[in-house]
Amino acid sequence: MTALPLAVHHVRAPALLDLRSEFPAVPPDWAYLDAAATAQKPRAVIEAITRAYAEDYATVHRGVYQRSARMTEAYEAAREAAARFIGARADEVVFVRGATEGINLVAQAWGQDNIGPGDRILLSVLEHHSNIVPWRLLADRTGAAIDVAPLTDDGRIDETALIAALRPETKLVAIAHVSNVLGAIADVARIAAAARAVGARLLVDGCQAAPRLALDVASLGCDFYVFSGHKLYGPTGIGVLWARAGILEAMPPWQGGGGMIEEVRFDRVTFTSVPARFEAGTPHIVGAIGLHAAIDWVRSVGIEAIEAHEAALTEIARAELEAAGARVFGPPRSAGILSFAVGEVHPHDVATILDEAGVAIRAGHHCAQPLMRHLGVPATARASVCAHTTEADIARLVEGVKRVRRIFG
């Protein structure tokens, strides 16, 4: 990869993190700016996963031999770590494959019993497909209707309009804490209070917030919170659904199998308590252990330090992309994520040229087609920073955008 000169920064950052050496899959001459899709893994996570498979592996919750008992302890310790990370209780945390499965679990196990004909589900324009499609399916099955809150001119959820759209028939509000396209941050606590006032539940998609913001579900006031491990520097195939204890206890199981039962007969089945009731089958044991390692790593760095680091780099990137002639979408303050366009150049062409310069970004509709229609574009180029992103990565991005402009005139 050809080295590129550093751009002249219009904004100077405070002291930034220096963590590149902890990510073995990220060489110095590669600018990985696709963390919003999936995060690279620090060495501590890779080593924890390797050790779990190579030295410690056994099943959980079933074996009486010592290694199985130790692995069970490690698995449940991961649940406790995930709960502490978001300010929750361990018995309120359900391990799922990712946020998508968590939302589907709520839609099927809670939604089927609590939403019916004439009820309403309130979403926003900027939601990820994973926070639209399960509700569309539920609405189609139950006869409920979906309302959609608009955005402000700068690309944030219009919270005033969202609150005005609430009515007694609204049973659920489902929003992204941080937009995966624009980086816009929602005022979850404000929305939660308004939803509570009409008797609605609030589900929050925290995929992009968990790696970037300090979380406390009690302070947020929501009823459900979901996030994926692989965006939080952990492995794929593991995620977290948090729900208030009373809500979780009232929900029926959504899948059947081993591990979630008390007694099975051919004429009846009784189920175990939460959260095991929602974890049918052999769980992703090593995934949970890897998630624990990722949470420990994030806590060792400090989520506030990561948030400040990403905010500084995002500010630099926005200023320099605009100076280079790119159109940057979304609000001035965005949480580590910037979508942009370079004239009329297709985002796939932008991404291809940037890849030739050693810059990895995302191009497409980002599983947010309603938002693309709102923006009036078929797709965007998206750069997303993370804990190991450097100023040199931003400089490489900006120089690549300048090259796109030269190539396409």
What pLDDT, on a 0 to 100 scale, did the predictor assign at position 9? 39
Candidates 3.30.750.24, 3.40.50.300, 1.10.1200.10, 3.90.1150.10; CATH matching 20-32+302-408: 3.90.1150.10
Cis peptide bond N-terminal to 5, omega within 30: no
What pLDDT, on a 0 to 100 scale, did the predictor assign at position 409? 81
What's domain 46-299's architecture?
Answer: 3-Layer(aba) Sandwich (3.40)
Half-sphere exposure of 124 (CA within 13 A, CB side): 33
Q: Where are the alpha helices (DSSP H) in 262-302?
A: 285-301
What pLDDT, on a 0 to 100 scale, did the predictor assign at position 2? 37
What pLDDT, on a 0 to 100 scale, did the predictor assign at position 14? 54
Residue with tokens 């942009």: 340
Per-residue pLDDT of the chain (409 residues; tens, 9 = 90+): 333 333 333 444 456 999 999 999 999 999 999 999 999 999 999 999 999 999 999 999 988 999 999 999 999 999 999 999 999 999 999 999 999 999 999 999 999 999 999 999 999 999 999 999 999 999 999 999 999 999 999 999 999 999 999 999 999 999 999 999 999 999 999 999 999 999 999 999 999 999 999 999 999 999 999 999 999 999 999 999 999 999 999 999 999 999 999 999 999 999 999 999 999 999 999 999 999 999 999 999 999 999 999 999 999 999 999 999 999 999 999 999 999 999 999 999 999 999 999 999 999 999 999 999 999 999 999 999 999 999 999 999 999 999 999 999 8
What pLDDT, on a 0 to 100 scale, did the predictor assign at position 13? 44
Cα end-to-end span (Å), the chain = 24
* Burial status of residue 259 (CB atoms within 10 A of its CB: 0-12, 13-18, 19 or more): middle
Domain ranges of the chain: 20-32+302-408, 46-299
What pLDDT, on a 0 to 100 scale, did the predictor assign at position 310? 97
249 token code pair:
């206890």
What pLDDT, on a 0 to 100 scale, did the predictor assign at position 5? 35
185 token code pair:
């941050």
What pLDDT, on a 0 to 100 scale, did the predictor assign at position 63? 86
What pLDDT, on a 0 to 100 scale, did the predictor assign at position 6? 35
CA angle, residues 306, 307, 311, in degrees to nearest 5: 115
**Which residues belong to the active site?**
367
Number of Cβ atoms within 10 Å of the Cβ of 237: 18
Alpha-carbon span 181 to 167, nearest angstrom: 29
